[in-house]
């Protein structure tokens, strides 16, 4: 009888309820991680946390920006039926475009450096996107130049998502990531730390947190030289600066080197059980550096950073191979 009642209740549910959630509904509201061993040397009044962004369905923080870029473009009539979404990417945003595009029936064409990991290329091909591989020596800037040339020649055929200059990128974090951090820390956050790639995460989250409390310190991370192994991060003085980047928003910038980041990636895996990407490891380097400085002062702090993805798309690259 109880089983039949359950069946009857399910049958009476609305079509929407029985359909389950969509891929898009799974984006955001990522958990806030604490640490056991890496932060054991810190005093109890200095806490470090990180948003686990690989729990997004596309496996990275870029799901947030890609979804908002697509929704905004559709709402404003810039992305219409039959058009192809095109952009440059180092991988994660492209995967997010590909996933959401497949779910919505949107054609996607992506330009990415030819040295992108084999895992990311395979994932993109699995989603059925059209790929154009650009000169690996030119990095993400080479992909940007190539996609701009294509769009200039055929402007009506493409919606150029332009993640580096599209305000919908940082607005995604203003309307989600910043709110989540404030709520998950019950307003106790004192520092937010994030790496600079497109800069959307730092710009959007930083602006939202500053509105909640102007005293919250916003700290940016970037490689310490133009020649580095921190994939996904930009050395702003030598790179094409994203149009959405405001160099005055951050209260402080930290330079991170490749070697300490690779070491941290191994430590996170072996001491915390967290197999994360390189940009996530660099975020932990920065967060610990700030935490250790504050520990010297005796002041309390709640430091939040963000782990953009895990390492599963990079295992064929250093420091894992």
Lookup: tokens for 188? 């106790």
Burial class (CB in 10 A: 0-12, 13-18, 19+), 179: middle
Q: Select from 305, 309, 71, 65 the least CA-distant residue to 209.
A: 305
Lookup: tokens for 197? 């790639």
Tell me the C-alpha distance between 194 and 254, whole Å. Answer: 10
Strands across the sheet containing 84-88: 130-134, 107-113, 84-88, 158-160
Region class of 304: left (phi > 0), else alpha (psi between -120 and 50), else beta: beta
What DSSP element (H or E) covers 167? helix 167-174
Q: Which one from 51, 60, 62, 88 is the annotated catalytic residue?
A: 62
279 is an active site residue: yes
Tell me the C-alpha distance between 305 and 48, whole Å. Answer: 8
Tell me the C-alpha distance between 31 and 194, whole Å. Answer: 16
Tell me the C-alpha distance between 251 and 29, whole Å. Answer: 26
Lookup: tokens for 265? 């990636």
Distance of CA 23 to the CA centre of its chain: 17
Q: What is the number of H-type helices and E-type strands within the chain?
A: 11, 10
Tell me the C-alpha distance between 159 and 61, whole Å. Answer: 22
Burial per residue of 87-109, b for 16 or more beta-carbon CB atoms within 10 angstroms, e otherwise = bbbbbbbbbbbbbbbbeeebbbb
62 is an active site residue: yes
Q: Which one from 88, 176, 199, 279 is the annotated catalytic residue?
A: 279
Catalytic residues: 62, 279
């Amino acid at each position: 009888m109880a089983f039949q009642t359950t069946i009857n209740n399910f049958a009476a549910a609305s079509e929407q309820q029985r359909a389950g959630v969509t891929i898009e509904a799974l984006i955001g509201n990522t958990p806030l991680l604490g640490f056991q061993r890496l932060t054991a040397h810190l005093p109890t009044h200095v806490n470090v946390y990180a948003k686990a962004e690989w729990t997004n369905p596309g496996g990275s923080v870029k799901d947030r920006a890609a979804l908002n870029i697509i929704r905004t473009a559709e709402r404003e009539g810039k992305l219409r039926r039959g058009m192809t979404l095109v952009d440059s990417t180092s991988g994660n945003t492209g995967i997010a475009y590909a996933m959401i595009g497949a779910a919505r029936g949107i054609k996607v064409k992506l330009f990415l450096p030819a040295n992108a990991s084999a895992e990311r290329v395979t994932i993109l091909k699995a989603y059925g996107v059209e790929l154009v591989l650009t000169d690996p020596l030119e990095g993400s800037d080479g992909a940007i130049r190539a996609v701009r040339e294509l769009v200039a020649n055929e402007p009506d055929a493409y919606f150029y998502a332009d993640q580096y200059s599209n305000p919908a990128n940082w607005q995604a974090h203003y309307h989600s990531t910043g709110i989540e951090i404030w709520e998950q820390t019950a307003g106790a956050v004192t520092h937010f730390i994030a790496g600079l790639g497109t800069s959307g995460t730092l710009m959007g989250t930083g602006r939202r947190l500053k509105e909640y409390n102007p005293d919250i310190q916003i700290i940016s991370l970037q490689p310490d030289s133009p020649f580095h192994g921190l994939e996904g991060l930009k050395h702003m003085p030598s790179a094409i600066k994203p149009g959405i980047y405001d160099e005055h928003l951050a209260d402080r910038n930290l330079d991170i080197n490749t070697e300490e980041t690779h070491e941290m990636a191994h430590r996170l895996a072996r001491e915390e059980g967290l197999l994360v990407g390189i940009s996530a490891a660099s975020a932990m380097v920065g967060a610990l550096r700030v935490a250790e400085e504050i520990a010297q002062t005796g002041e309390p702090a709640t430091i939040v950073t963000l782990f953009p993805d895990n390492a599963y798309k990079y295992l064929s690259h250093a420091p894992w191979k």
